[in-house]
Structure 1
Amino acid sequence: MSKGFHIWRIVARMVFLQKVGSQDLEHLLKLYSCDQPKYCTELQCLDNFFGLYTTRSHLKHVEAYTLPHQELGLFVIVDRYQMFVGCLDTENSNDILEQALHQLDWWGGIQCSTIRNRYAAVVGRVVQAKRLPLKFEMENNLYFLPRKAALELNVDVPSGFYLEALSQQDAHLVDTAWEWSHSGTLFFIERQIATSTCVGLYREDNQELVAWCIRSQDGFLAALQVKNSHQRRGFGAVVVKEYSRRVALLGYDVTAEVCPSNKASSGLFQKLGFKVIDQCSWLITVPAQGDFTWPDGE
């Protein structure tokens, strides 16, 4: 066993997460903005939560952590039961991230969301070391569209329809139509509609919402849906183009996750110029005391 190994073990035991606020998140944003598009997902995740911290006077059940002095740009954000992570790529970054993740309370069940391929093995080792049974596991393709290309998309609004940001009244429809809807997702959708980029396509005659998408907590395009009565008319492409344009105007590239088996969505994103640049894993651990239910309104 080398001397260097002994030194690293001592350093590893000194890794301590600390809770942070909006100023720390803003500093982390600057760190990740320096190397794009490598850290495009980390940047947009931080941007989303920085926006939440600065627009909401009080955030319940949202905790952001980093290391003292933002070492390695490491962050862990726990949003109720969802966990998002990021760390700048250095020689010992995975070891430090692993030590940090061991400090979380995993026993209530955690949904490890959109875990980039570079973090997947670390998260997997922590789950295995804690002997946490998995409720769900999935790997998606990460689709990427550069900001410049998004700004060049031509958005043709079909006759008789108009594009507009979603309203809170639309949240229930978005949630019930979403393939991944479950207890708690309505809250997230309502919050994202209120605080982040979202797009809906509406009929002019009766204001019926027929197609939509939102920006999820991790900054990805999510919940893309076209009503069955209006499918095969190119409406999905219309809202994706408009969403992409709006995100690009904010200064960001556009990202989306698609399950490899979803050929229709994969084809749509490829047609619009998106490229697969990575894979993202989802892991859901089983709560030790059974599924948690949030009080009404939370």
Structure 2
Amino acid sequence: MDSKLTEIPRDQWTILRDLYAGDRTNLTGYDLIEYFINWTPIDSDETIKIYTTDLDFPEHGRYILIHAVAKKAYVYLNTVKESLEELQSALCSLNLQTWHLICGYDERLKPIVEHYWAARGHPCKLVHQGTLVYHLPKSEIKKFPRTDTPSFYCRRLEPIEAGMVDKHWPYRSADSLELITGFIKNNISAGFYETGSLHGWCLRSPHGSMSNLHVLPEYRRAGVGSMIVRFIAELIAASGSEVLATVVPENEKSRKMFEKLGFHVINALYWSVMPESQMQTDE
């Protein structure tokens, strides 16, 4: 790690988290940092570190968080104050040579990621993979009807059920099971069951948004997706967080379902894949 970056000790993560308490709809703010404060590793190779540019981070809230799991790295970044040049410099000082994903950055941070891509010397064009951020006012949750029965019901997922979720994940890879297991183990989740058998689910990402919503084909168009969303929305609201969901723009069915339940779009976020390569520096 470049000397320009300073690691924030774990016992000071709450200081960084609290700088973002004023906006709980910020998906790289309070709830993301809170998630990793309470994070439990799956094995000894999984690590989480938070870096900043200087010891004045309680003033500017500038950070880069790196979650290393299954030989990959998931990178999150943000700043409270508009210190984008410093954040860009910090990102470009990374020396991540393995595959990594920059996760959930908003429109104002796209130039930073583009600069980082160019500094790594990739010959092809950077792709910002976009998602829409949906928000559900907590007052709307009270309007949800109760639809559980002794045979049809929702409950939290168990880590042992991660294999089922991973099997149906569009982004499944040889090492994605460990990531899915961590989501279930460390965060709120919901599964739909008929007489004890799992037929649909929804996870909550480290950002704090609903993700991985999936219903098996034989249970679709029967209100199961809405039932799962209603269940997990109550759990999220009870935790004190805002109820958020991320949906790719092309997924019209999910968008219509969320909008029917009272969700509305408040933002757009982006993800970008960084292939394995040597970091090029100007030095």
TM beyond 0.5 = yes
The aligned residue for residue 193 of structure 2 is 202
Aligned-partner residue type, residue 18 of structure 2: K
Distance (whole Å) between structure 1 residues aligned to residue 66 and residue 142 of structure 2: 32
Partner secondary structure for residue 33 of structure 1: coil
TM-score, length-scaled by structure 1? 0.82
Between Structure 1 and Structure 2, the one with more helix by share is: 1
The aligned residue for residue 80 of structure 2 is 88
Choose from 130, 133, 147 the match for 1:139.
Answer: 130
Q: 1:213 to 1:166 in 2, by over 3 A?
A: same
Partner secondary structure for residue 47 of structure 1: helix
Aligned-partner residue type, residue 130 of structure 2: E
Distance (whole Å) between structure 2 residues aligned to residue 236 and residue 221 of structure 1: 12
Q: 1:119: Cα distance to partner?
A: 1.4
1:226-241 map, 5 Å = 226-241=215-230
Partner secondary structure for residue 233 of structure 1: coil
RMSD: 2.3
* Preserved contact between residue 203 and residue 212 of structure 2 (Cα < 8 Å): yes
Identical aligned residues as a percent = 24
Q: 1:136: Cα distance to partner?
A: 5.5
Distance (whole Å) between structure 2 residues aligned to residue 283 and residue 63 of structure 1: 20
* Preserved contact between residue 148 and residue 248 of structure 1 (Cα < 8 Å): no
Partner secondary structure for residue 156 of structure 1: coil
Q: 1:23: Cα distance to partner?
A: 2.3
Distance (whole Å) between structure 1 residues aligned to residue 193 and residue 162 of structure 2: 14
Is 1:217 the counterpart of 2:206? The answer is yes
Q: 1:41: Cα distance to partner?
A: 4.0
Is 1:22 the counterpart of 2:10? The answer is yes
* Preserved contact between residue 155 and residue 242 of structure 1 (Cα < 8 Å): no
The aligned residue for residue 279 of structure 1 is 268
Q: 1:247: Cα distance to partner?
A: 0.6
* Preserved contact between residue 44 and residue 218 of structure 1 (Cα < 8 Å): yes
Which stretch of the first structure deviates more once superposed, 173-182 or 142-151? Answer: 142-151
1:59-98 map, 5 Å = 60-67=46-53, 68-70=55-57, 71-80=59-68, 81-90=73-82, 93-98=83-88
The aligned residue for residue 281 of structure 2 is none
Q: Deviations over 1:188-238 (max 9, x none)?
A: 11112112100111112xx11011111112222111000111111110111
The aligned residue for residue 42 of structure 1 is 29
The aligned residue for residue 247 of structure 2 is 258
Q: 1:128 to 1:251 in 2, by over 3 A?
A: same
Q: 1:155: Cα distance to partner?
A: 4.0
Which stretch of the first structure deviates more once superposed, 122-131 or 247-256? Answer: 122-131
Q: Which runs of 5+ in 2 are unaligned?
A: 279-283
TM-score, length-scaled by structure 2? 0.86
* Preserved contact between residue 63 and residue 77 of structure 1 (Cα < 8 Å): yes
Distance (whole Å) between structure 1 residues aligned to residue 261 and residue 45 of structure 2: 36
Q: 1:129: Cα distance to partner?
A: 2.6
What number of residue pairs does the alignment pair up? Answer: 269
Q: 1:59: Cα distance to partner?
A: 7.1
Q: 1:27: Cα distance to partner?
A: 1.1
